[in-house]
Amino acid sequence: MTLMMMNNPTMLSYIRREQPVLERLLASYPKQITAALAHAPKHPQHWLILATGSRLNAANTARLYMQKVAGLQVTLAAADLYVTYEEADPSVDVVIGVSLTENDPTMLEAINKARAASHAHTIIITDQKKSALTDIADATCDLMTGKESVPYITLSFQAIVLTLMLLTVRSAALQERLTELAVNQELDEFSFLIENMNQTVQRANDFYRKFTIDFTNAPQFTAIGANVLAGTLAEMQAKFTEILRVPAHGYSLASFTHGGFMGVHEDHCQFYIEINTDPAVMEQLQAVKTYESRLTPHIYTISLTGEQPAVNDDQTLLLDPVTDPYKAPLMAIIPFQVLAWFIAKSRGINLNHLMYQDFQKAINLQ
């Protein structure tokens, strides 16, 4: 990384740091993760994750992997909603708060509410070495990202996903749900994915350059994929809306087929994410894509299957295959991060100039 990138970081420079930072997080396993779970119940049943915004999308990205690998019930809750409306569940045995803010009173209140009801082991996942949250927690997981100084998090998103997945691997090992061999296989698969992140960034960069005019002029974006990509799709929606400042939506395949398809129009730009999952799901995704191509020519595919596209339309971004669909979200979000950055630049959007800067104050959130 150049000195200029470190002194004047951009969203893109943080995206390019994802590979080295996640490599460092993985290399820290199991030391930090073991310490975080040292006083947790040996056979936990129910984990509660509290977060907001993109942090909640990251938790949703990891949730199905967590449930599959460690046999957990994982409940996600937005911290503000949890404080105001949710009933605290006494069956929760691990509470995880995800925060990138030094002063986060809503998260602090949510953590205290959860602990009062359950006396659960509490872990804070954060980029802050010292805060009111880390003071009350039983353990802290450092994301090793440093403070991400641009307002649209990318690096931190990926670090949260991997940290939650590593906590899961360690919990499964402690429960003897995973043998040492199985743990090493999981770690090796993570390592292989992370090694390909910079290459994925470059391929997404090339893909943008190939279709710059179409992406720059699109008035609306939609991404569609299997349910296991729910967190990825929600984050795509957040990033494209915030950064490109046009309508954007991320749909699970089921949600799109139950109503989302009604919003299509001839200028609509759609992305279909293909992964190695239930063949019936991918067949339906292909059927939807074929149908939608009758209505708009702006159809693009992001493929992590390792297979050539069924329709050789030259509008497919071929990425390295990911065998495990539960890990696919780690790679699937990268093209959307990259595209959001470059499309914003081509549209002349200055991301250092925040729009509606009086909004938070006007609605009494400051």
Q: What is the CATH number of the domain that holds 37?
A: 3.40.50.10490
Give the span between the Cα atoms of 143 and 126, in whole angstroms. 6
Q: Is residue 163 part of a domain?
A: yes
Clarify whether residues 107 and 214 are in a common domain.
Answer: no
Clarify whether residues 228 and 130 are in a common domain.
Answer: no
Clarify whether residues 115 and 22 are in a common domain.
Answer: yes
For the CA atoms of 287, 302, 229, 185, what is the dihedral angle to 10 degrees?
120
Under 8 Å between Cβ of 138 and 107: no
Cα 169–Cα 171–Cα 173 angle in degrees, nearest 5: 70
Q: From residue 58, give the alpha-carbon distance in Å to each of 51, 55, 125, 240, 297.
A: 9, 5, 12, 16, 31
At residue 299, the pLDDT reads: 96
Give the span between the Cα atoms of 362 and 189, in whole angstroms. 47
User: Tokens standing for 335?
Assistant: 């093209």
Taking alpha carbons only, the member of 1, 329, 40, 46 closest to residue 162 is: 329
Eight-state DSSP code of residue 86: P
At residue 365, the pLDDT reads: 63
What is the distance in angstroms between the CA of the first residue and the CA of the last residue of the chain? Answer: 35
Clarify whether residues 155 and 285 are in a common domain.
Answer: no
Q: Is residue 109 part of a domain?
A: yes
Under 8 Å between Cβ of 283 and 330: no
Contacts of 5 (CB under 8 A, 6+ apart): 13, 16
Under 8 Å between Cβ of 225 and 333: no
Q: Is residue 358 part of a domain?
A: no
208 has which bridge partners? Answer: none
Taking alpha carbons only, the member of 55, 87, 92, 90 closest to residue 75 is: 92
Q: From residue 14, give the alpha-carbon distance in Å to each of 83, 179, 230, 245, 325.
A: 32, 35, 23, 21, 25
Clarify whether residues 204 and 189 are in a common domain.
Answer: no
pLDDT of the chain, 366 residues: tens digit per residue: 443 445 678 999 999 999 999 999 999 999 999 999 999 998 999 999 999 999 999 999 999 999 999 999 999 999 999 999 999 999 999 999 999 998 899 999 999 999 999 999 999 999 998 999 999 999 999 999 999 988 899 999 999 999 999 999 999 999 999 999 999 999 999 999 999 999 999 999 999 999 999 999 999 999 999 999 999 999 999 999 999 999 999 999 999 999 999 999 999 999 999 999 999 999 999 999 999 999 999 999 999 999 987 666 789 999 999 999 999 999 999 999 999 999 999 999 988 777 777 777 787 765
At residue 88, the pLDDT reads: 97
Clarify whether residues 127 and 267 are in a common domain.
Answer: no
Give the span between the Cα atoms of 6 and 38, in whole angstroms. 35
Q: Is residue 365 part of a domain?
A: no
DSSP annotation string for 107-142: HHHHHHHHHHHH--EEEEEES-SS-HHHHH-SEEEE
Clarify whether residues 35 and 156 are in a common domain.
Answer: yes
Give the span between the Cα atoms of 102 and 51, in whole angstroms. 14
> 3-state class of 55 per DSSP?
helix
Q: How many CB atoms lie within 10 A of CB 268?
A: 19
Domain boundary among 195, 215, 238: 195
Give the span between the Cα atoms of 137 and 124, in whole angstroms. 6
Q: Is residue 229 part of a domain?
A: yes
Clarify whether residues 138 and 241 are in a common domain.
Answer: no
**What is the Rg, in whole angstroms, of the alpha carbon atoms belonging to the chain?**
20
Under 8 Å between Cβ of 129 and 113: no
Residue 109 lies in domain: 3-195
Q: Which helix (H) or strand (E) holds 301?
A: strand 299-303
Clarify whether residues 83 and 213 are in a common domain.
Answer: no
Under 8 Å between Cβ of 201 and 215: no
User: Tokens standing for 293?
Assistant: 């191509």
At residue 5, the pLDDT reads: 45
Clarify whether residues 158 and 222 are in a common domain.
Answer: no
User: Tokens standing for 33?
Assistant: 């993760």
Domain boundary among 156, 179, 195: 195
Dihedral of alpha carbons 33, 36, 38, 44, sign:
negative
Clarify whether residues 256 and 144 are in a common domain.
Answer: no
| CA atoms within 13 Å, Cβ hemisphere of 296 | 23
Clarify whether residues 183 and 203 are in a common domain.
Answer: no
Give the span between the Cα atoms of 47 and 172, in whole angstroms. 13
Q: Is residue 77 part of a domain?
A: yes
Question: What is the number of domains present in the chain?
Answer: 2
Residue type at 104 in one-letter notation: D
Under 8 Å between Cβ of 248 and 222: yes
